[in-house]
Every structure is written in structure tokens, then in C-alpha cells.
Structure 1
Amino acid sequence: MKFLKAFSLFLVFCGSLFAQDKSPKYQIDFETFSLENGLKVILHQDTSDPVVAVALTAHVGSAREKEGKTGFAHLFEHLLFLESENLGKGGLDKLSARVGGSGANGSTSRDRTNYFQTVPDDALEKMIWAEAEKLGFFINTVTEPVLAKEKQVVKNEKRQRVDNRPYGHTMYVVDRNLYPEGHPYHWQVIGSLEDLQNATLQDVKDFYNHWYVPNNVILTISGNFEKEEAKEWVHKYFDEIERGPQIEEQEKQMVELDQTKKLYHEDNFAKLPELTLAWPSVYSYHEDSYALEILANYLADGKNAPLYKKLVEEKNLSGDVKMEDYTSELAGELLLQVRAYEGKDLDSVQQAIKETFSDFEKKGIPAKDLQRIKAGLETSFYQSISSVLGKGFQLAQYQIFANDPNYINKEVEKMLAVSADDVMRVYNKYIKGKNFVATSFVPKGQPELALENSEKAKVVEEKIVEGAEEEFDTSKQASYEKTPSSFDRSVEPPYHGKPELSIPEVWEANMPSGMKILGITNNEVPLVQFSLDIKGGQLLEEPSNAGVAHMLASLMTRGTQTKTPAELEEAIELLGASIYVRSGKEKMSIFGTTLAKNFPETMKLVKEILLEPRWDEKEFELLKQQTLSELQEEKGDPNAIAQNQFDKLIYGKDNILSYNELGTEETVEDMKLQDLKNYYEENLSPLNSSFLVAGAIEKDKVSDALKAISASWPPKSVDFPKVPDFQPPKESKVYFYDVPGAKQSVFMFGAPAVSATSKDFYPAEVMNYRLGGGSFASRLTQQLREGKGYTYGIRSRFEDRNYIGPFVISSGVRTNITYEAASLIKEILEKYPSTFTPEDLEVTKSYMIKSNARKFETLGAKLNMLSEISDYGYDYDYIKKQEAKVEDLSVMDIQELAKKYVNPERMYYLIVGDAKTQLERLKELGFGEPILLNPENENSQ
């Protein structure tokens, strides 16, 4: 994210993090005004990057619906992107691609729906023009076929997010029992499949005409623009849109439970039992919300948390605990969630929670913990408003729910004012002795793991029925009389100016140990992001010790020679910093964020983590159990199954790269602490390491802070295995993994393609933009989602690796059209080379070049640039060279690249779904008998 610019933020970070009783001085400047039709406009200028974010926020979410007609607000989030009178069908997506935008997107909550994107600053008038279409020139374009198709898209989204994943129905059960019938939060934002199917065109139009009116909407513009010019455009495009009916405010509707409710559900996908406890809480910006957030953080977050210590370390019941105060406009809920280990009785989990609460009642929250939590929450708050889009979101949120956009300058002060007494007070008020809802989600056939005296929850499960969905033809044009306007709105506004792309200047240094440093100095805010990358990762494992790199990375932050795990975590958080270690296919990284002034102290902790490991046997055994639990959990997740099986197909089951990065149950169970020590001693060397840094720090300061690491880290040579040149299969085959009762089929289609170091890699990415890399600008999305309603989302990509990585198409489609969707993808791939046109190339070039204006907005983006330079040997100005490559590409070049790297006759077609209903028809793809991959079928392959 890009952090805020003002020097006063330096006072906030450097002062209030360590003197919590002082009010922050930081202010975000903004201007508000309203049009005569009631539209509220908020402007915030930020000239640091050549980009501008435009967001339209409607004060309507699922809470404005009626039971039996749920899901309308979310349905509109989809419909409003499809067409308008003056942009035409798919016009906004086409416009976004041409101008280099981030892609038009939206989100729906219980209480609001927003529409947003970030674009190069020369396209601001175009975006204001396009957003005005949503309010004044949209509803006539919605036809019966359009509605029928979008119902299918939304229903696919529900299957993907809820019906086809472990624990997906949890919040449905919680909310139906926490909020009484008739309460606006009794149903889910996404609605029910039945309600969506029953929605009529008139229902939709009535909903739109009531809620999508200027006097119920906020327009936010944030970024690099001229205020007077922006105001002129807002008036031009929005003034003549008529005001709607008066919108009445909803009264707050906090709830109380007259009894505790216990419910259980046997989950088709869950492999582990999960307990969720929910207490009625407060609405957003309630005075108690700040203390409740700190309470939840203290009780459950991190190794110092009482619930972690009790359930994870002492009782050995779970590997993780989560707690959150989830607030909305009218009410809220305090949620505590524990995913227990396999076979654990959830009554024992609840008993451990009770014991933890009892201890807390005696001790309260220690002063040091209150201090570190405030430090972390404050940093998180500023990160949430660190991009121009983030600030735009928050300003609109405060306007709607606090009736005061200036709340953005008050919230940190309220959080910092929370005392230990406040934390205990809200615990007593909302948790101690209070009724709650408890849900036990247990694996199928294991109801005995649920809380005692739980009732069976009512969960609506969709039946898989072939041919159950209605047919529609979205190609038919809507017939309507255009809405009159004082000027011709079909004329697209011009660009204004030209964004100045400034590629960050990269500096480098070399330490005596052989460690290389790459950096970008950026003084917008007093923050630094860093990553110490050590080549190796999974590549240096053997199949017999698969997962050892992941285990080592996880253990490295669990204490050092002089600090216990809890002491290390506390030392990091008191600096207002974060440090993580992760291992991937090709490297291990120690990465994080810190205040610039605390960079030297943070590097001392990095040195301890890297060079003074604790090798704690107890933590190692705990980590093994947590990893085994993760592996068990993945067995029920269709998406995890698909990824694990796809890697085996791409790399061959004997290659280490085909293994789950967590390892296998056998290798993890057999692993000894000495295995981690051996990997550490043999493979972590400064000769193969790069320290990447971006932020408010100069080269010499970085080098000084890293001297101790370099001096204490002896260089050693590491032998890297030769990675085979992976090849596509000689002929395509269909592979199927059976998940009985799956509500979706998860697709991963692809083959080994090209290395990120190849001269073809970036041109191949360019080629893929119109195929499946460009979201709504891609053919896969346009045909499978927009044309057929088969899926919520589909994409294709080339995975960047130093070795030959795969081209992969991934999606989740509704179960009963599995064959049809697979067949259509195959057809699109077959036709893509011959049907790629000069117009396709023009759109692709425009996006690839113009989107570079957004490429370096955040510190994270700058660090990613350094990572690509370090990992793949790119030149410091590789962005400019990529632009030149794009300009030189011809239609014939794209066609040849497609033929070379995207061949539907030499691919693995992997499907994870319900074999009973879908397997047989897949023979019709023409690739022979589908091969079942479930473990019981392995010997027959």
C-alpha cells in the first residue's frame, strides 16, 4: 500500500505509538459538497502518484431487503457493471482496459454497496462520465435474459464462497439464530438461491428506482486531480439526474438473546470440528466498539493471547484461535472461532474457553499488552487508508455510518483513549454471563464431536440436477427509449494530459558476506518494507523430507536464543513492526514492515531470528501438530485438492516440486528437529541472499543496520539441483478427483509452458491478456461468465518461475454444466490464435502501457519490483523495456505465442467435483476415458 504523505503522520507514528495518552496530530484534508439532487461528493487530493480513484457508494445493502426477496443489493452490484445506455454492453470493462485502469469492481455489505476503480489521472473525466451512467442511464438496459444470466453468476458466487467450501454455512446459521426474524441481519448478504431465482424483472426495477438515486449515494474522488476541474465534470454529468424519494434512516437495532442457543451441522467438506461462539455486540462507531476490538485482539491474537496459550499451548486442542468484533450500521456480533484438531470434542474446547475467561476476569489486560495492541491497531488503521482508493473508501464509510467524513481524523484518537478498565468493562457488559449462539460444524458422520445438547441446524443444501437452469440469450439488444439529456452522452470524454511515469530509482550495495542489497528510497511516510530473500526453499528438499523448508520458516519466528516465542512477538509489536518468515518453491524470505526510525532495532530482531534460532523442541512438536491439522483440513477443500493434484501432473509425482509445500502426513510425522537444523546449516547462505528494501531510509543507513548480520553470517556454497525442462504432455487427458456432493466443479487446466527468465515470458503474458489474464476484458470471462453464466470467475496465467512454470486456467463452475464449461474452454483455446484481431492488439497495448502509471503507487509495489529484479535478473529499467516490447508486438507474434504455449491438445484437464453426476459425460471432450485421481484409484493409473 501507499502510505499517507503528511509530515504530521511522522508525529503520529513516532509519538503516539510510545505515548498512547497523547492525541494524534495527523489530519487528512478533504472537501465535501452536495448537488441539488442530493448527491454528496467528497474530494481528497494526493499528488504523489499519477493516479486517481473514483468510488460510488450507495447506502443500500442487504439490510434494506425483505425476507423472501434477499440478495437484491448484491445482485445490483453485478448488474451495474454490465451495460448502460451510453457506454453500451460491457462498455465499462472495455473502457477500463483501454485507459489502463485497475478494473471496475464492487462490493456489497449489509449496509452499503460500492463501485470503484483506480485509473491513470488523465482518465478522470471518463470515469466520472461512466459512474454517472449507473445512476441515470442504466435500468432501461436490464432485460429478462440479462437478469437470468446474472442470477446464474451470483448463484455461482454463492456456491464458490458458501456451498462448496468447508464451514461455508457457518455465518448463515449464526445470523439466523443471533438476529430474530424480521431483523435486517437475519439473512445473508448474498441471499438464498431460491430468492435469487424468484426475483422478477419488475422486482429489480423497483429496487433500483427506490435506492439508486442521487440522494442516497456518495461520490468520492481521491488522488491526483485539479479540484475545480473535477467539480465541473461532476456537475456536468450528475446535475441533471433526478432526485429520488426521501430515504428514511434505519434505527439502530442491537439485539439481546433470552437464551443461549447451541446448534450443530455435519459439514460435507469439513475434516476438522469447528466451534463458533457469537455474542450480540454493538454497531459501528459505538463508543464501546474500540474497547471491544482491543479485547478481541488481546484474548485471541498471537502467542501472548490468553486463548492461544490455553487452547493451543496448554490444552493442545487447536492450532489457532480467532476472535473479532464484527460491527455493522445497525448492530454487531462478537465472534470467537476455534478450529479444533481432528477428533477433538468441542465440549473440551468450550471448557478451555471458560477457563481462559475466568483467568482474565482475575487479571484483566496488562499495561504492556494494551500498549502493543494499540500500536498494531494504529498502524493497521493507517495502512487501511494508505492508498488513494483506501482513503476514498473510508471517507465514504464515515459519511454514511458516522454522518461525518471527518471521523477519519478522530478514530485513532478514540482508539488510543481506551483504558484497561474500559476493556474489562466491555467484557463484563457483553460476554460475562451473557447468552450466546454456539455452532458446532463437524465432519460428516461425527455429530458426537458437537457441543452437548446442540440441536441440528437448518441448512439449505442445493441438489445437483442436470438441466435445472433456465436457458437465455444475452445477445438480444434491449429495446427502450433513451433517457433524455442536455448533451450527447454517447460521446466518450477525452483524455486530459498524460500521466508521468516515474520509475523508482534503484540503488544497490554488496556486503562482505556476499549478501546483495537492492533498495528504493521513498520519503512519503516514515515506513520501511523489507524482505531478506534466501534462494532455495522447496527446491532444496528431498521427497523423503518434504515440508522441511516450510517447517523451518514457521519455527524461525517461534523464539530466539534469548527470547521465548511470546517475548519475540512482544519485542516486534512494541516497535510497531511486523516480521514474518515464509518458504516457497524457490526461496525462503524474512519480510516485514517497520517505522523508519526503528529500522536498526528491527534488524537486530531479524538478526536474532536468522542467526540465533531457539530450536525449541516443544514449539517444534506443536508446529508438527498444526501442520498435520492443516494437511487434514486441505483434504476437504476442493480448491486445495485441485492445486495439490495439479502440481503432481505438471511436475511429475517424483519431483519435489510436485509435493505440497507443507509436506505429506508421512514426512511431517517422521520429521525430527535435527532435520530442520541440517537444512538450516546446509542451505541458508548469504552468497545466495538478497536484502530488498523500500521506504524512508537511505542506502548508508540500510548498510549500517545490516553489518551485524553480514559479519555474523558465514558464507557457504550451496549446491542447487538441476530442474528438468518440464514438457507438456504428448496428448491431452482428463483427470478427475471425486468430491461427492460437490456443488461446483473446480477446474485447473494447463501444462508446463515457459520460464520467467525466458525472452518469451513477458510477451506470453501480453498474449494472455485478452485470453484470460484481463479479467472482464478477457474472452474466458466474457464467454463463460458474461455469455453463459457458468461461473463467478475464471482466469488464465503464466506462473513466474526460474524453471519452466505452467500456464494454467482456473475456475469454479456450477456442477451441472461441468462438461459444457470444459468444452467451451477447449473451443476458446482452439480458436484464440486465428481470431486474435488488430483491435485485440490495440486494447492489449493500451492497457499494458497505460496501467504502468499505477505500478509503483505503494511500498509493496516497489518491493515487488525489486523482487522481480532480484529473482529473475531483470534490468533496473525493465518496465521501460517491457513497454518497448509491447509496442513491437504484432498480431502474428501474438498468434504464434498462443500456438506455442496454449495448445488445448497438449494439456492436463483437471476437474475436482462430483464424479457420480459428472464423470461420464467428460468422455465427450475427446481425450479418452477420464482418469480418477482419488487415493483408492492410484494403483490403477
Structure 2
Amino acid sequence: MKPFLAALIVLFVVSCKEKSEQKTEETAKTEFKVEFEKFTLDNGLQVIFHIDRSDPVVAVALTSHVGSAREKVGRTGFAHLFEHLLFLESENLGKGGLDKMSARIGGSGANGSTSRDRTNYFQTVPKDALEKMIWAEADKLGYFINTVTEPVLAKEKEVVKNEKRQRVDNNPYGHVNYVVTKALYPEGHPYSWTVIGSLEDLQNATLQDVKDFYNKWYVPNNVTLTIAGDFDVAEAKSWVKKYFDEIKKGDAIPTLEKQPVTLETTKKLYYEDNFARLPQLSLTWPSVPQFDKDAYALDVLTTYLSDGKKAPLYKTLVEEKQLTDYVRMYNSTSELAGELGLSVTAFDTTELTKVNSAIQEAFAAFEKEGISDADINRIKAGQETNFYNSLSSVLGKGFQLAQYEIFAGDPGYVSEDVEKILAVTKEDVMRVYNTYIKDKNYVAVSAVPRGQASLVLEGSTKAEVVEEKIVEGKESNFDPSIAATYEKTPSSFDRSIEPPYGSSPDVKVPDVYKEELSSGIKVFGIENNEVPLVQFSIKINGGMLLEDKNKIGVSNLVASMLTKGTKNKTPEELENAIESLGASINASANDQYITISGNCLAKNYTKVIELVNEIILEPRWDAKEFSLLKQSTISQIQRQQANPNGIAANEFSKLVYGKDHILANNNVGTTASVASITIEDLKNYYNANVSPTVTSFHIVGDITEPNVKSSLASLNKNWKAKDVTVPTIVAAEKPEKSKVYFYNVPDAKQSVLMFGAPSLAATDKNYYGAQVMNYRLGGGSFASQLTQELREGKGYTYGVRSSFSGDKTDGLFSISSGVRTNVTYEASNLVKEILEKYSAGYSQNDLEVSKGYMIKSNARAFETMGSKLNMLLNISTYDYPVDYAKQREEGVKNMSVEDVKALANDYINPDKMIYLIVGDAKTQLKKLNKLGYGEPELLNPEEILKD
């Protein structure tokens, strides 16, 4: 995690043990403090506490200073494999480990992530579960490795392989990172392989390899424990010492020296991508390690070069040459080295040599014009807002403190960090450009659609890309039910006894104010002053529902055009005005709404709302921007057509609603419909449908209700009301019997499963009850049967879920997953069997686990500004009462097993569902008739002919 730094504020992180002299009252009001206490156990465990009593929750994070950089050649992917293994079991937690406990205690879901340099494990829980979490984390660190057996390892290898297939092998441009990494870093460099590693290395890993890795890196003296939230310090300290103290210290961990790299020559490589539909060029230069003095100026440089309409790369590639709709450039710093990346996904059939030439033209323009102080201040303003956003949750604060501790050696390093970014000048920006980019060697990777090698950058050679061969009947066999036999690790007390809950948290639903203005705008707000930020969302009813079926995509283009300038501001001037305030304003559309959302510093809110007034009341309808936007939208549609998950979503909507229903369409449109849309179509839609009478305004943050009302006075007065009738959605018809549909993606490494049927609207009295019922089926992650059987039991998938989603008048029950290709039928049939048995097998224990989660998780329900804003959106959209969360809690408490079984029988019927599979037809299609629903219907038979 890369911390965002405040540039225009005085920010102090103060150690509770080393507080400076008492500040004056005036000074204290201008400082934002993240106080912490740090101590070290005798075994070397670093512990950081941060108190935040704004919500009755605690975030616990265990971070080990080990990532892919600490692996050996030939044994890559171990750090990431451990991220998986540590959730499964430990000696005293038992099978299911922390995931199983998380469901009972109302946690956010135990999770983790792996980078080149660290692996972390984290979760936010109600504060009454803190001792349980400390007990569990200690068990993972000191009492885990004996539970790893050959079957456990074999199964988790399959899960990791599925993750790689999903993220890399079955994804457009998925292999770019592998090609770049191998070319940029010399053989043997700790960063010369990807974090997810090699499937061959993972397959060859032995149980002894795994134990050796754990015993070396998962020791207290290589780990930092962070606890942030509402807790008693003395009590927590005693628990940490009780559960962690007797875990033995490991061998001394050697410090790795910085290893920045240089390139002796520019390397140009290419590969043909099975999933890409558009050519992509990626350029990468060697950079500097994390916290290097030049990293700060490089952050500013890459932002200026690529972000926004003033950016040289945007001006040249997007506006002037019209080669792409988006340029991404970034400075990525890690512990040992860094890299500057630039990525351009070009328009269809664009030669990447032209793209590279345009990049060099943009650089030449930058060299000539430079960067102004105003631009530096604009970029820093955005960094200030981003910094506060990163601290808006207790988990975010804990991450920030751990980041500094591990990689800077001091949680209080932020003060020095801020000084360095404040010191960046325009001369620094030009200096780092000349040092790291101008006339420097780089790695260029062209990823082009299969059969379009003529588009690659001139002078490129073919890169080696390792693609797994999926062979029928060659999947690994294992029995994960075999229990490990071992002698338990000795302890001074009985660790098998789970600690009790603490005092029950007092969950307080935020106070909501509501008002309807004279224009018809409905206002919903929550005052919250934890951080000096404001978030708002303006929702205008209609969206695609108000479109002509022959010109789908109009509302999406209307929304996008709203932020492309106003009557008195060019697109560039509007963007500059927003960014200079450190704000973001975005407009988007979906099936039923146009939404304008914003995030800003509270001190700048009034000026931001003035800009929103212009955006809504005085759109510019800039012809040049409209032309660029149409190109961009068509490119977006082409990218969706290349992504198996995007294909599945689009095809499933068609199957659920039928070709004549408005919701069968993707609101972005088709290439044909977007091409046919004129700017007059947009103006007509805007003039007829964008009205305060169908608008609701939602706001959360450090602003009072009177100030919110005052800020909306101008909009309320000047926005002309119109009579707008939004069509009521006709609910989709449920299928009379199940049918299997198949969409062919030749040589797919995974099959995307999407099963389901029309179901409950969000306003139905049984809607929340159905969500409770679904928790143990597929809504509860690792607490669900689908995950336990498809992932943990069989290793078929990286993830699977089921859900009920609804709107005012219709809804959907759906199941989705990506499974390895050669078990497509087996996974589909297993899902069917689970659905068939779910009601009959539902037990009192299932209900208690579901109740525990649904009730206890309310302690976390309103912690972040985003969750509070979502609460307001639910209230306004579905006319829920302001205390709907409390009412649901009471309803859950009164549910019985019979109630749940009745809901399952009513709303889950595997024999009346749509079964859609997106995968490789030549190997998987025929087997699916064994599901018992007749011959599968191939949705794109023309692809069989191409194949």
C-alpha cells in the first residue's frame, strides 16, 4: 500500500510515549493527529496501537516483512501461497480458522494481500471481539505450521492456480506484467519474477519447502501487529503479551540492500494476446526505491504528464492524434527498487509505432514548456484529499502506521515524508525527468490481438509467455477432509479455549436529516466530523429507462459530457478548477439513474458545489469532446467484448430479460448504437429528463445541515422543474424450466459460470430475509457452502458467491464463479446439487451463524463515510425508514429455521434457472448435457467456425 501524503496541511503523528510539549489551543485546532503507541515484545514482535473511538470497531492487522522478493529462484509464489494457507487452520482455531470465526463475530471478513516486500492479514471487527482476534492472530503466527498436510497443500495449490488463471491467463493483457518484470530486472534479482509466481514452481513445492519458508519468515521478529480503533490500551496490551509472548523468536532476519537497476539497452518485446481486442503499448523505465528523495518529484512528474486534459500525454495522444482515450503513467516504488510505467491501450487497428512516436512528441512538448508552480500546487491539493481519504477508516490508519514502521523504521516517519513532498519544486520535476526518462533505456511491451502482430512496435521481438495447458482428466486428486495428526505445540495455558466476548458494543445508527426543497430536490444528510472531508451523491432518476431502444447509450454519454466543460469554462478550465480545490467530481449513468458524485475537503465544499451548479445547469456540449467521447465509448465496448466476465454479464442480462426488455441492454450501448448518436440526442435527453423533480441529494461529512441547505439555495432556485415520468420496470419472467447456455471463448483457461433467475425486489418484505437465508449458501464468503465445497473442498475455483440484488420493482438471484476449464461440468453440477439440498439441510447452527454475523456486523455498518452515504442512498431509493438497519436486526432475531427453509423453497429452485457458461466450447460444451437440462444452446456459433 502506497501512502498518500498531505501537502498543504500540518500533519503530526505523535507517539503516546514521546509527546511534545502541550500545544496552544489555536495551534491544536489546525493539526490533524494520528496518535500511536509502539512497544516491542521480548521475542521481537513490533506492536502499534492507535485509539479511535468514533465507532465501536477495531481493526487488527498482522504484517510479515516477507513478499515475493524473499523467495528463491525455482520456488516462486510462496509468499502469496502463504497468504492463502494462513487462513485455513491452526492448532487451536481448528479447521476453517479465522474465516470460520469471522462469520460468528460479525467481522468484515478476514483478508490478506501480498506484495514484493510484505504480506498482511487484516480484518475489522466489533470491539467486543478484540481478544478473540488477538488470540486468533497469535495462533496463526505460532501454532499453524503443524496443520499443513500434503492434501491441504495440494488443494491450496489448485486455488492459487485458479487465481492466476482468473487474474492473468484468462484476462486481456494479463501477461504484460510478467514480460515487463522479466525484461526489466536481471536474472536472480528479487523482483525478477511476479508476486503470484510460477505455476510450475508452485506445483513442484514440497511440504518441507513450505515448512522451511514459514519457519524462516513467519517469526515474531519479522512481524508487526497493528491494532486501531475503540479499545482499552491496558487491556489490549495484556492480551497481546498473553497470547504472543511465548512464541519463540526466530533467527535474525538479514536486511536486504537496495537494488535499483539500470538497462544497458532498450528492450522491445511483443506477444499476441488471446483475449485482447485492442493493441496495448507499455513502457517501463527503472526508477528509485520507496522513500528515496527523488520518489516525491517522480510522483508529481508522472501525475502531471498523464492525468487530465492539461497533461502533455493526454493532449498529444488523446486530443491531437486521437490514438487512444486514456493514458496511464505512474511511479511505483518498492523497498529495493522502483519503476516508472506508462500504458496506452490504443484504438482498434492502431499501429503501436505511431503510439510510441506520439509519446516522444508529448515528452518533447513537456521539455519545452515545463511545469508551473500552479500545477504543482494543484497536484498537491489532490494528494491532501487522498491522504484524508486513506485515514477515513480505522483499518486505513492501521495500514498507514504499519507501512512506516516496516519500510521507514518509524511509524512517525510521516512528518519527514510530508516535508519531502512539500519541498518538491518545478526544478526537481524537470531534474528527475532528465535523470530517469529523457534519452534513457526502457522496456517496451506490445500486447496485440491474436493474428495482429503487424501492429507491434517496430523492432520488437517475440516474448516468451508461459501459458498453462489445460488437459482433461489431469487435475490433481486430494482429500482435504483428512485431518492432520501432530503433537500440539506446548503452551503455558490452554489455547484451545476461545476467549469470551467483551462488553457488547453500543451500535448507534447515525442521525439522518431529510428535507424536500421547493424545486423538488430531496435532501438526505449525515453530519460526521471524523475527518475534514465531505462526500456527496446526486442521483437523477431515469438513466437508460428513458432512452430510445434504438439508440441505447444516450444517458451514459449525457453523464460523461456533464463534466466536459460548462458554459463559461472549457473542459480544461473546469478540470483545473476542480483539481485546484483538491476535489473530485464524477458523473456516470446506469440502467436507472444518472449520478453526480463528489469528494472534497470540507473547507472547499462551497466552491465545489458552485462548480456542480455549473455542471448541472450550464453544460457545454463541446463538439470536440463529444467526438472524443464517442471514440472512447466504442473502445470501452470493444474491451468489454474481450473480457469473459464482461461477456457473461452482458449475455446474462439478455437471457434474464429477453431481447425486447430495456434492461436486456448494456447501458453503455453497442458500437452501432453509439455511432448513431448525435449531440442533439444528448441535448434532447437532457432537456426532457434532467430535472430537480426526480433528483435526490445525499451528503455525509464535516458540514452542518444549515450549511448544506444554504449551499443548495442557488441550485434550488435556478434549476427549472420539468414533468418527468420514469417508466416502471416490468419484472422479468421466471423461467418455467432450467436451460443451459454456452458462449464460446476459444482456448479459455477458465469457464465463467453465471447462474440465476429473476427474484425479489429490494422493496419486498422478504428481501432482507432472503439475504439472511443466502448467507450460508453463498453470501457469507468462507462461511458459505458454495465456497467451502467448490474452493475449499475441491479446489475448482478462486471464488464463488451467490446474491440477491434488487431495485424498486424487480430483482435477481444469481451465482457467479470462474472455474478451471477442465472441471466446468463438475463445478456446475456441484452447484446444482448444493442448491437442491440447501433447504433440507439447513440447520439451527446455520441460523445461529447467520444471525451472529447479521446482527454483530451492524457495529461496522456505518464506520466509513462511504457506508454512511450508501445508507442514505438506500433510504432515498427504496423509501426505507431511517432506522431500517435496527429494524432488520430485530427481524433477524425473530427468524426460525423453518422461516429460512420456507424462503429457500420459495426463492431458490435449481430446476427453474438460467445456466450460462462462458468458456471453451470445443472441450466443454458437450459434457454439459449431463446436467439434465437438455442440449446446451450455443449463443455464438460463428466462433466455432472461426476456431
Query: Smaller-chain TM-score range?
Result: over 0.9
Q: SS of 1:140's equivalent?
A: helix
Q: Offset at 1:490?
A: 0.4
Residue matched to 1:557: 563
Residue matched to 1:176: 182
Residue matched to 2:484: 478
Q: Deviations over 1:243-298 (max 9, x none)?
A: 11111000100000000000001000000000000000011111111110110000
Q: Offset at 1:37?
A: 0.7
Provide closer, same or farther for how the CA distance between residues 637 and 697 of structure 1 changes in structure 2, counting only shifts above 3 A.
same
Q: Does 1:277 align with 2:294?
A: no
Taking the aligned partners of 1:681 and 1:635, their CA distance within structure 2 comes to: 32
Alignment of 1:593-742 (within 5 A): 593-742=599-748
Residue matched to 1:206: 212
Taking the aligned partners of 2:188 and 2:681, their CA distance within structure 1 comes to: 58
Residue matched to 2:235: 229
Q: SS of 2:208's equivalent?
A: helix
Q: Offset at 1:10?
A: 8.8
User: Is residue 267–residue 442 contact of structure 1 (8 Å, CA) maintained in 2?
Assistant: yes
Residue matched to 1:888: 894
Letter in 2 for 1:544: N
Q: Offset at 1:703?
A: 1.2
Q: Does 1:90 align with 2:96?
A: yes
Percent sequence identity over aligned pairs? 63
Taking the aligned partners of 2:455 and 2:530, their CA distance within structure 1 comes to: 53
Work out which of the residue numbers 112, 116, 132 in structure 2 matches 1:110.
Answer: 116
Taking the aligned partners of 1:363 and 1:236, their CA distance within structure 2 comes to: 62
Taking the aligned partners of 1:262 and 1:278, their CA distance within structure 2 comes to: 11
User: Is residue 728–residue 809 contact of structure 2 (8 Å, CA) maintained in 1?
Assistant: no
Taking the aligned partners of 2:834 and 2:419, their CA distance within structure 1 comes to: 55
Taking the aligned partners of 1:333 and 1:53, their CA distance within structure 2 comes to: 32
Alignment of 1:462-473 (within 5 A): 462-473=468-479
User: Is residue 272–residue 342 contact of structure 1 (8 Å, CA) maintained in 2?
Assistant: yes
Alignment of 1:124-523 (within 5 A): 124-523=130-529
Q: Offset at 1:9?
A: 6.9
Work out which of the residue numbers 818, 821, 831 in structure 2 matches 1:825.
Answer: 831
Q: Offset at 1:938?
A: 13
User: Is residue 516–residue 691 contact of structure 1 (8 Å, CA) maintained in 2?
Assistant: yes
Taking the aligned partners of 2:603 and 2:386, their CA distance within structure 1 comes to: 18
User: Is residue 542–residue 656 contact of structure 1 (8 Å, CA) maintained in 2?
Assistant: no
Q: Offset at 1:911?
A: 0.6
User: Is residue 10–residue 525 contact of structure 1 (8 Å, CA) maintained in 2?
Assistant: no
Taking the aligned partners of 1:586 and 1:152, their CA distance within structure 2 comes to: 40
Q: Does 1:916 align with 2:908?
A: no
Taking the aligned partners of 2:418 and 2:553, their CA distance within structure 1 comes to: 42
Letter in 2 for 1:928: G
Q: SS of 2:270's equivalent?
A: strand
Taking the aligned partners of 2:262 and 2:91, their CA distance within structure 1 comes to: 47
User: Is residue 10–residue 30 contact of structure 2 (8 Å, CA) maintained in 1?
Assistant: no
Taking the aligned partners of 1:806 and 1:30, their CA distance within structure 2 comes to: 46
Taking the aligned partners of 1:24 and 1:749, their CA distance within structure 2 comes to: 54
Work out which of the residue numbers 858, 872, 893 in structure 2 matches 1:866.
Answer: 872
Letter in 2 for 1:581: A
Q: Offset at 1:382?
A: 2.4
Provide closer, same or farther for how the CA distance between residues 10 and 416 of structure 1 changes in structure 2, counting only shifts above 3 A.
closer
Q: Offset at 1:401?
A: 1.0
- Aligned length in residues: 925
Q: Offset at 1:891?
A: 0.7
User: Is residue 641–residue 912 contact of structure 1 (8 Å, CA) maintained in 2?
Assistant: yes
Residue matched to 2:852: 846
Taking the aligned partners of 1:409 and 1:587, their CA distance within structure 2 comes to: 43
Work out which of the residue numbers 47, 54, 61 in structure 1 matches 2:53.
Answer: 47
User: Is residue 10–residue 31 contact of structure 2 (8 Å, CA) maintained in 1?
Assistant: no
Q: SS of 1:799's equivalent?
A: strand
Work out which of the residue numbers 76, 79, 84 in structure 2 matches 1:78.
Answer: 84
Provide closer, same or farther for how the CA distance between residues 722 and 496 of structure 1 changes in structure 2, counting only shifts above 3 A.
closer
Taking the aligned partners of 2:73 and 2:806, their CA distance within structure 1 comes to: 47
Residue matched to 1:591: 597
Letter in 2 for 1:412: V
Q: SS of 1:429's equivalent?
A: helix
Q: Deviations over 1:819-861 (max 9, x none)?
A: 0000000000000001010000001001000000001111111
Taking the aligned partners of 1:339 and 1:448, their CA distance within structure 2 comes to: 16
Letter in 2 for 1:130: A
Taking the aligned partners of 2:9 and 2:498, their CA distance within structure 1 comes to: 40
Residue matched to 1:17: none
Q: SS of 2:403's equivalent?
A: helix
Letter in 1 for 2:393: S
| RMSD after superposition | 1.7
User: Is residue 112–residue 122 contact of structure 2 (8 Å, CA) maintained in 1?
Assistant: yes
Taking the aligned partners of 2:858 and 2:419, their CA distance within structure 1 comes to: 37
Q: Deviations over 1:773-802 (max 9, x none)?
A: 100000100100000000000111111211
Taking the aligned partners of 1:102 and 1:293, their CA distance within structure 2 comes to: 32
Structure 2 unaligned blocks of 5 or more: 13-28
Taking the aligned partners of 2:138 and 2:396, their CA distance within structure 1 comes to: 21
Residue matched to 1:18: none
Q: SS of 2:712's equivalent?
A: helix
Taking the aligned partners of 2:100 and 2:453, their CA distance within structure 1 comes to: 51
Work out which of the residue numbers 766, 773, 781 in structure 2 matches 1:775.
Answer: 781
Residue matched to 2:937: 931
User: Is residue 529–residue 694 contact of structure 1 (8 Å, CA) maintained in 2?
Assistant: yes
Provide closer, same or farther for how the CA distance between residues 10 and 331 of structure 1 changes in structure 2, counting only shifts above 3 A.
closer
Letter in 1 for 2:230: N
Taking the aligned partners of 1:387 and 1:410, their CA distance within structure 2 comes to: 23
Q: Offset at 1:303?
A: 1.5
Provide closer, same or farther for how the CA distance between residues 446 and 727 of structure 1 changes in structure 2, counting only shifts above 3 A.
same
Q: Offset at 1:596?
A: 1.9
Q: Offset at 1:626?
A: 0.4
User: Is residue 165–residue 749 contact of structure 2 (8 Å, CA) maintained in 1?
Assistant: yes
Taking the aligned partners of 1:541 and 1:926, their CA distance within structure 2 comes to: 40
User: Is residue 735–residue 913 contact of structure 2 (8 Å, CA) maintained in 1?
Assistant: yes
Taking the aligned partners of 1:860 and 1:196, their CA distance within structure 2 comes to: 39
Q: SS of 2:752's equivalent?
A: strand
Taking the aligned partners of 1:226 and 1:208, their CA distance within structure 2 comes to: 32
User: Is residue 265–residue 441 contact of structure 2 (8 Å, CA) maintained in 1?
Assistant: yes
Q: Offset at 1:229?
A: 0.7
Taking the aligned partners of 1:490 and 1:418, their CA distance within structure 2 comes to: 54
Structure 1 unaligned blocks of 5 or more: 13-22
Alignment of 1:524-563 (within 5 A): 524-563=530-569
Work out which of the residue numbers 743, 756, 759 in structure 1 matches 2:762.
Answer: 756
User: Is residue 727–residue 753 contact of structure 1 (8 Å, CA) maintained in 2?
Assistant: no
User: Is residue 81–residue 92 contact of structure 1 (8 Å, CA) maintained in 2?
Assistant: yes
User: Is residue 264–residue 456 contact of structure 1 (8 Å, CA) maintained in 2?
Assistant: yes
User: Is residue 275–residue 346 contact of structure 1 (8 Å, CA) maintained in 2?
Assistant: yes
Taking the aligned partners of 2:233 and 2:440, their CA distance within structure 1 comes to: 52
Taking the aligned partners of 1:282 and 1:643, their CA distance within structure 2 comes to: 41
Letter in 2 for 1:783: E
User: Is residue 26–residue 409 contact of structure 1 (8 Å, CA) maintained in 2?
Assistant: no
Taking the aligned partners of 1:145 and 1:897, their CA distance within structure 2 comes to: 37
Q: Deviations over 1:210-249 (max 9, x none)?
A: 1111111111111111111111000000010101111100
